[in-house]
Chain A
C-alpha cells in the first residue's frame, strides 16, 4: 500500500509540500507520499547560501530534488523570508525518505503573509486529495 501518512498538525500544498507553522515561522518539507513516489533521494539542490537574504513568494521554484527515478522541482507553498536551510541534507539526502516530517525538513521561512495559509489544505483535505487523484 502506498505511504499516506498525513500528520494532523501540518498544512499541505497540491504540489505535495508540507508547512508547519510555529509563531511567525514556517518549516517546509515534502510529504510522505511525495518521498514514496520519488523513491530513494540521491541529491538535493536547495538555496543553501541564501538564508536571511531571500524573499520567496508562494509558488516560487526553490530547489530541485533528484531521486533514482527522476529529478523534480520544489515549489514554496507559502511566502516568506528564508531563515534557515537544512544543511544536514547536503550529506544525507536520504533523511527526506526516512523522516520526511522530521529530520527531512528543508527550509524555515518567516511568514510574510499568514493569510496565505488559508490557501493550503489541512490534513483531512490532503488525504482526500491523495485519494481523489487515484494515489
Chain B
C-alpha cells in the first residue's frame, strides 16, 4: 500500500511556491495593526513547499477520490447524478464568478434576474407560492422551514403547538431539525405497504389534540415508495391544525409529474445538489431553497428578488419574517448551476429526468429481485431498498457486499438505512446512467450474491483491489484519533 504524505510532512524550511514583490509602501509593524493579544507568539507551523509539490499532492489526492465522473455511484437518497459540464461553464462566466455580493443592484441586474427566475421555476416545480434561495443545504432548509412554521403558529396565538410528527423511515435530519427548532418529535409507524400507517396517524393526532405543529414527510419516502394516501394524510393533519413539511430530498422522482403543493404540503425544501445537478459531497457548498404556500409567504427570510418597472431589485422582508438565514443570496454559484440545469432541460426535459430515474430504478430492482430480498415488492420510484438478510445467513452482510462492490469500481449503495429494513441496501441509479452501465451493475450484483452463497470469505476480506483495504471502522469509532501531531504522541493510552 502506498501512502500519500500529508502536505505538512512535505517540503523543507524556507521553500516557497510564490515570491511576493517588494513592498512599494511603508511597512507597518504588525502589532500596530492588530492588538498584540491576538498575535501568535510563534509563527504557525505552515507547510513550506514548492508549487509543483502542492500540485502533485492535491492531484494525487484527487486521483484517489471516487466521483460520478469516474464511475457508477448508486448511493440511495443522495441522488448522485452526473453534473453536466455546461453548469461549470455558466458558473465560470466572469460576470457571475467575479461578482461581489455587495455590489449595487444597478450593477447586478443579470444576477438578480437569474435569482428571480430561479425562484419562479422552483415555485412552479413544487407548487409553492414563493421560495427563499438562502439556505445552504438540505438540513439548513429544514430548520428554515420549521422556523417559518413556528412563526406562523405563534402569529396565530398557537405557539403552544409543540409536536412534530415524523414517519419511522424519515431522513435522520428531520427529527434532528425538529429538535433543534424546539419541537418534540413523535414517530409514525409504517404500514405493510411501506407508507404512513393512517390508523396510527389518527391515534397520534387524537392523543396530541391541539398540540400538533407539523408533519415532516418525504414522498416518495426513503423506501423509494410513493405514499398514495398523501392527500388523505394532509387533510387529517390540516384538520388537526398542523402544517405539512415536504422534505424534497426525493424530488428527483416527481419532477413535472406531481407537486408537493398539489399533494397538500405547505413548506418544501429542495436539495439542488441532488435534484438540480449541482456538485454534491466534499462538504459542499450545497443549496437548500425553501418554498412556501401563500399563507406562509410573510414569514419567509428576506430579502427576496423582485421584478420592478426598471428591472430587478431586492425586496425587503416584512415584519413577520423570521429574518435572514444566510448572508447575501445564499451560495450564488450553486444557484447559477441549478438555473442552468433547469433551463437546458426545460419543462419536458425535467419530466423526462424523473421518468428515466424511475425507469432505471425499476429496471435494476426487477433484474436483481431473485438475488436479493425485496421487503416491499411494489413498483418503486427513483430508488429502492433491498435486504441482504439472505446473504447474512450465509455470513456476508450488507457491509461486506458494499465493500466487495469497490473491487468492481462501483460506489456502494447506502447501507443500513432506512432502519425499518434489516441489512438495508438503498440503491438509486439516477437518470443519467446508460443501459450498459445498469447491466454491468446487475451482473456484478449477481456475481456478488453468488460469492456470498459460495465463498463468503471473499466478501469478508473485501475490498481487495483498492489503495486501502478494509479499515477497522469499529476501532475508528471507539477510539477516534483525529488530529495530526507534529511530534510523535507519547500518551495515547
Interface residues of A (CB under 8 A from B): 1-2, 37, 39-40, 42-43, 68-70, 72, 93-94, 134-135
Contact = CB atoms under 8 A, between A and B. Distances in A.
A39 B415 CA distance: 13
Interface string B403-440: 00000000000011101001000000000000000000
Interface stretch (B44-52, B308-316, B470-478): B470-478
Nearest to A38: B416
A72 B389 CA distance: 20
A94 B478 contact: yes
Contacts, number: 28
Nearest to B416: A69
A102 B313 CA distance: 69
Contact of A68 (B389, B392, B419, B477): B477
A92 B486 CA distance: 30
A43 B478 CA distance: 7
B85 interface: no
Contacts of A134: 389
A42 B393 contact: no
Interface in B348-378: none
5 contacts: A39-B399, A40-B478, A43-B478, A69-B415, A70-B416
A40 B477 CA distance: 10
A39 to B, nearest CB: 8
B223 to A, nearest CB: 16
Given A40-B474, A40-B477, A94-B478, 6 more contacts: A2-B392, A39-B399, A42-B477, A43-B477, A68-B473, A72-B419
B473 A70 contact: no
A2 B393 CA distance: 6
Contacts of B477: 40, 42-43, 68
A61 to B, nearest CB: 11
B474 A42 contact: yes
Contacts of B392: 2
A42 B419 contact: no
Which 9 pairs across A and B sit closest by C-beta, in order of nearness?
Answer: A42-B477, A40-B474, A69-B416, A42-B478, A68-B473, A68-B474, A70-B419, A68-B477, A70-B416
A37 B398 CA distance: 12
A134 B375 CA distance: 11
Contacts of B416: 69-70
A93 B389 CA distance: 26
B188 to A, nearest CB: 15
Contacts of A69: 415-416
Contacts of A72: 419
A35 to B, nearest CB: 13
A14 to B, nearest CB: 13
Nearest to B479: A42
B398 to A, nearest CB: 9
Nearest to B478: A42
A1 B422 contact: no
Contacts of B419: 70, 72
Contacts of B474: 40, 42, 68, 94
A40 to B, nearest CB: 4
A6 B181 CA distance: 42
Interface in B116-170: none
Interface in B83-126: none
Contacts of B393: 1-2
Contacts of A43: 477-478
Contacts of B399: 39
Contacts of B415: 69
A134 B389 CA distance: 10
A93 B399 CA distance: 21
B390 to A, nearest CB: 11
Contacts of A135: 422
Nearest to B397: A39
A94 to B, nearest CB: 7
Nearest to A94: B478
B166 to A, nearest CB: 14
Nearest to A135: B422
Contacts of B478: 40, 42-43, 93-94
Contacts of A70: 416-417, 419
Interface string B325-346: 0000000000000000000000
A95 B328 CA distance: 51
A91 B249 CA distance: 38
